[in-house]
A and B are shown apart, each in its own frame.
Chain A
């Protein structure tokens, strides 16, 4: 179910002296099964954009077509949209509230009006897919570790069985190991469950290693849209808007300037290693 965004503009505080144009004429198409990284520095409009995709925020102007239908049409079922487009907020563990892990994950599917068995089935499936062991199902979510809490919160959204999953900075505040676990889990969701994934991040390393397509936002506009290699080729311009490329990009460029014949488009550590080894013979 593709998402088409047409001329989307959003202005915060329209009627005050502090009006801010958070999104400025965004045009995008998100196709099925894509794994997209959305990057941009703080205040570039990333979070605002993703909150439009499931109808939590209403655009000042423009339209969003989900599966060909405008979500701003009168009578459009936003609740159904939210079950299709799952949104995991920044620090999602702050939304946990139930007495135990299992009931918390049940909250979403219960809201969809499913039968009790189906709710339980979905919750179990979601918890399994994020790797929460059965022993923890009856524990209070507040007693878990940070990484576990986050995985439970992600399971809470996965239990809605969405076709599109949007994650806003899912690795913020986690240690390197926790980060890798979460990102591997997300990659798995795309390859195994064929979900469309939109990953909001400002860590270039994360994005470069996992996604197929990168969107770069600056001042409410999409400034670059392409594969990691294409986007990171603009590494100078990216620096100007306050973003950095993966470290390996810099290493490769420096080696190239020093006279080594390395691949300048390497974006992951593995690619760079290969190319440097080849250059050294």
Chain B
């Protein structure tokens, strides 16, 4: 059950997407997510799906890994769809009791569902193809300009990479403690909500204790190696753009401009939501 969390999980394989500079992937994800909010017709979404499908294909990550990430937002997705479906005013298509499904509502619900799905799959694709280390490296370098405004970019990046690094460790630890308590007859899966919440105490207490112990050890180890923040610190493998990274930027720019242009055309039957 804990293994199902895909967000922030790297899928190891060798592909063009994996080899891209993390800054390209970060910018790409950002651009992709933002463009999703510009579309006014379904042509835009069709283009976005096509683009994502192409990148997934290139990344060689099996599609089922994307779907796994979807599980976590299934509930949110359902609520969004239902609310949009029933609560959008407009031309009714089906009515029963006090509820009306309108033409506009259907279009809005579908577009919302698409937007959320693409958002999650798009961003999990980034984490699936980029190691956490690379990701924070990219962030540190890409956001470097913020240093002018006294933003502690290095420290934030370091905190992020440590946090990301701790996710699998803590998951493993959780798994281990869970098993150890199950061996003592603990039951995490049955009973009502209160009983289940209570059952978590034997899991959470040791987990917190071990998280603090690990944090302490890590701080000690960093200090022993004379860590003192980002000033004057060099990298063993500094990030460097290569030819393919510029190609990727060009493709991205083209996708952004073209899909926004196409996505905002006034096409009578394919519009999303309320058209003024």
Residue of B whose beta carbon sits closest to that of A159: B184
The docked-state distance in angstroms from the alpha carbon of A236 to that of B187 is 46
Contact indicator A94/B206 (Cβ below 8 Å): yes
Contact indicator B182/A83 (Cβ below 8 Å): no
Given that A94-B206, A95-B206 are contacting pairs, would A111 and B179 also be in contact in the complex, using a CB cutoff of 8 Å?
no
Give the Cβ gap from B168 to chain A, nearest Cβ, in Å: 13
The docked-state distance in angstroms from the alpha carbon of A209 to that of B181 is 31
B205: chain A residues at CB < 8 Å are 97
Residue of A whose beta carbon sits closest to that of B177: A95
A1-42: CB near B (< 8 Å → 1, else 0) gives: 000000000000001111000000000000000000000000
The docked-state distance in angstroms from the alpha carbon of A56 to that of B179 is 7
B187-204: CB near A (< 8 Å → 1, else 0) gives: 100000000000001100
A54-91: CB near B (< 8 Å → 1, else 0) gives: 10100000000000000000000001001100110100
Contact indicator A83/B177 (Cβ below 8 Å): no
B11 at the interface (CB under 8 A from A): yes
A92 at the interface (CB under 8 A from B): yes
The docked-state distance in angstroms from the alpha carbon of A51 to that of B177 is 13
Contact indicator A92/B180 (Cβ below 8 Å): yes
The docked-state distance in angstroms from the alpha carbon of A108 to that of B181 is 8
B156 at the interface (CB under 8 A from A): no
Give the Cβ gap from A40 to chain B, nearest Cβ, in Å: 19
B91 at the interface (CB under 8 A from A): no
Q: How large is the interface on B (under 10, 10 to 19, 20 to 34, 35 or more residues)?
A: 20 to 34
The docked-state distance in angstroms from the alpha carbon of A142 to that of B205 is 11
The docked-state distance in angstroms from the alpha carbon of A89 to that of B172 is 14
Contact indicator A89/B185 (Cβ below 8 Å): no
Given that A15-B64, A18-B12, A96-B206 are contacting pairs, would A89 and B182 also be in contact in the complex, using a CB cutoff of 8 Å?
no
Contact indicator B182/A82 (Cβ below 8 Å): yes
B12: chain A residues at CB < 8 Å are 17-18
**Majority-rule SS of B interface residues:** helix
The docked-state distance in angstroms from the alpha carbon of A17 to that of B62 is 10
A214 at the interface (CB under 8 A from B): no
Count A-side interface residues using an 8 Å CB cutoff: 28
B209-229: CB near A (< 8 Å → 1, else 0) gives: 110000000000000000000
- Of A16, A51, A92, A112, which one neighbours B185 at CB under 8 angstroms? A112
The docked-state distance in angstroms from the alpha carbon of A156 to that of B210 is 19
The docked-state distance in angstroms from the alpha carbon of A15 to that of B180 is 26
B179: chain A residues at CB < 8 Å are 51, 56, 89
Residue of A whose beta carbon sits closest to that of B14: A17
B185: chain A residues at CB < 8 Å are 79, 82-83, 107-112, 160
Give the Cβ gap from B160 to chain A, nearest Cβ, in Å: 25
Residue of B whose beta carbon sits closest to that of A80: B185
B163: chain A residues at CB < 8 Å are none
A157 at the interface (CB under 8 A from B): yes
The docked-state distance in angstroms from the alpha carbon of A107 to that of B185 is 8
- Of B11, B184, B209, which one neighbours A108 at CB under 8 angstroms? B184
Given that A82-B185, A83-B185 are contacting pairs, would A107 and B202 also be in contact in the complex, using a CB cutoff of 8 Å?
yes
A191-210: CB near B (< 8 Å → 1, else 0) gives: 00000000000000000000
A156: chain B residues at CB < 8 Å are 184
B186 at the interface (CB under 8 A from A): yes
Contact indicator A94/B177 (Cβ below 8 Å): yes
The docked-state distance in angstroms from the alpha carbon of A15 to that of B177 is 25
B79 at the interface (CB under 8 A from A): no
B151-168: CB near A (< 8 Å → 1, else 0) gives: 000000000000000000
B62: chain A residues at CB < 8 Å are 15
B72 at the interface (CB under 8 A from A): no
Residue of A whose beta carbon sits closest to that of B205: A97
A86: chain B residues at CB < 8 Å are 183
Which of A87, A97, A160 has the most C-beta atoms of chain B within 10 angstroms of its own C-beta? A97
| Chain B interface residues (CB < 8 Å from chain A) | 11-13, 62, 64, 176-177, 179-187, 201-202, 205-206, 209-210
| Chain A interface residues (CB < 8 Å from chain B) | 15-18, 51, 54, 56, 79, 82-83, 86-87, 89, 92, 94-97, 107-112, 142, 156-157, 160
Having A15-B64, A94-B180, A160-B184, one finds 6 other A-B pairs with CB under 8 Å, namely: A82-B182, A82-B183, A92-B180, A95-B181, A97-B205, A97-B209
Q: 26 A-B contacts, Cβ less than 8 Å apart?
A: A15-B64, A17-B12, A18-B12, A51-B179, A54-B183, A56-B179, A79-B185, A79-B187, A87-B183, A89-B176, A92-B180, A94-B177, A94-B180, A95-B202, A96-B206, A97-B202, A107-B184, A108-B184, A110-B185, A111-B185, A111-B186, A111-B187, A142-B209, A156-B184, A157-B183, A160-B184
What 6 pairs across the A-B complex have the smallest Cβ distances?
A111-B185, A97-B205, A108-B184, A95-B180, A87-B183, A89-B180
